[in-house]
Structure 1
């Protein structure tokens, strides 16, 4: 199982939100590059970056931080947040990112997303953020009437070139309450696209259960920042290919 430590960027700083609430922010580092190097030293091969400013209003204030993380760590990085045009996809890939996550635009325009996946094969990730099983958009500020499983199945029926689906249960994100294993299992049954579990991963028991469910990958965030999980110990249990 791949382990992707998360670095959430807001105003050029490394932060974490609770349940996607911008008013419930904790700053964990003024220098996200230093944080990235810390996770590299622990043994990770992967980094999951989130541009919170981009997700909320489409701004690019974290672009330089993202560029430096990719260039200075040499890690396999993916980024999401406010990716709603081909221009943005191309710009981010040009920074050296391995994968780009698209959420809101994919829900609103699945045909466009499928076309982009075909143009950039295995480089795009479908970001599905769900609240009570329904897809949320615009930095989690809005909730749609589309179920997470139906969106995944629709996209899977249109293209075979999507690299993965990052599935985030908003109710669990940043709450240190464990993943929503039931919905993750539903998502894994819904499509052949690899699922990346996001939100609530807190304990080694969570990691073990995800492995038992044969979850291809998991994102770890607040738990490693607050010391609930030791990243090196997690990686020892999940050898990275």
Structure 2
């Protein structure tokens, strides 16, 4: 199982939110590159970046310099989500050297457009499906739609073969240190053949072992490694991410 350590960016600094709430923010320092290098030294082979400013509709360029430095100074494959809503954003972000982009709200609201972008940039775009009680949440998790997450995944698969992955996040678990929604992940995995990345709530080594047993292709780890609840080296060892 691939392990993707997360670096969430707000005003150029590394932060973590609780349940996507911008008012429940912990700032972990001034320089996100420092964390990128720390996770690389611990054995990370790839990084998951989130542009919280762009996701919220704030300045979409606020974190570009930090992202470019992470990519350049680590040389690791990086994927990033947050505010990827048009082709201009896709072009400029891929131009920073990012390997893969995560498209969230736009994949739900403009599925034809998203499918066309997947075909134009094959295997470089992943769908970020964020769910609250099984329903897709959008706009930086500020809105909840009436679309079941599984239906969205199946609809997108029906439109394109070139989608890279689904980043599936249960908002209720994100940043709460309460464990993933294993049932929701299992249902999503059974519903589509798109590679699935488990996100939100991966807190303990047992969580990692269970995801491996479920044959989950990949998982994102965030707050637990920042707070020292898990050591990234051990997570990578359990995941067999060699």
TM more than 0.5: yes
Shift of residue 237, structure 1, vs aligned partner: 1.7
- Corresponding position of 2:56: 56
In the alignment, the residues of structure 2 paired with residue 88 and residue 186 of structure 1 have an alpha-carbon distance, to the nearest angstrom, of: 32
- Corresponding position of 1:139: 140
Residue 43 (1) aligns with residue 43 (2) = yes
TM-score norm. by structure 1 comes to 0.99
Deviations 1:138-184 (A, max 9, x none): 10000111010000000001111011000000000000000000000
Shift of residue 236, structure 1, vs aligned partner: 1.4
Deviations 1:96-147 (A, max 9, x none): 1000000101100100000000000000000000000000011000011101
In the alignment, the residues of structure 2 paired with residue 29 and residue 198 of structure 1 have an alpha-carbon distance, to the nearest angstrom, of: 23
SS at match of 2:56: helix
In the alignment, the residues of structure 2 paired with residue 190 and residue 236 of structure 1 have an alpha-carbon distance, to the nearest angstrom, of: 29
Residue 70 (1) aligns with residue 56 (2) = no
SS at match of 2:78: strand
Shift of residue 58, structure 1, vs aligned partner: 4.7
In the alignment, the residues of structure 2 paired with residue 145 and residue 29 of structure 1 have an alpha-carbon distance, to the nearest angstrom, of: 38
TM-score norm. by structure 2 comes to 0.98
In the alignment, the residues of structure 2 paired with residue 117 and residue 61 of structure 1 have an alpha-carbon distance, to the nearest angstrom, of: 26
- Corresponding position of 1:121: 122
- Corresponding position of 1:8: 8
In the alignment, the residues of structure 1 paired with residue 106 and residue 127 of structure 2 have an alpha-carbon distance, to the nearest angstrom, of: 10
8 Å contact kept, 2:82–2:103? yes
8 Å contact kept, 1:58–1:82? no
User: Structure 1: which 5+ runs fail to align?
Assistant: none
Residue 82 (1) aligns with residue 76 (2) = no
- Corresponding position of 1:25: 25
Shift of residue 239, structure 1, vs aligned partner: 2.9
SS at match of 2:159: coil
- Corresponding position of 1:107: 108
Aligned residue pairs total 241
Check 1:115–1:58 CA distance in 2 against 1; reply closer, same or farther (3 A cut): farther
- Corresponding position of 2:190: 189
In the alignment, the residues of structure 1 paired with residue 170 and residue 46 of structure 2 have an alpha-carbon distance, to the nearest angstrom, of: 21
Deviations 1:61-88 (A, max 9, x none): 0011001000110001000000000000
User: Structure 2: which 5+ runs fail to align?
Assistant: none
Once superposed, what is the RMSD of the aligned Cα atoms? 0.7
SS at match of 1:157: helix
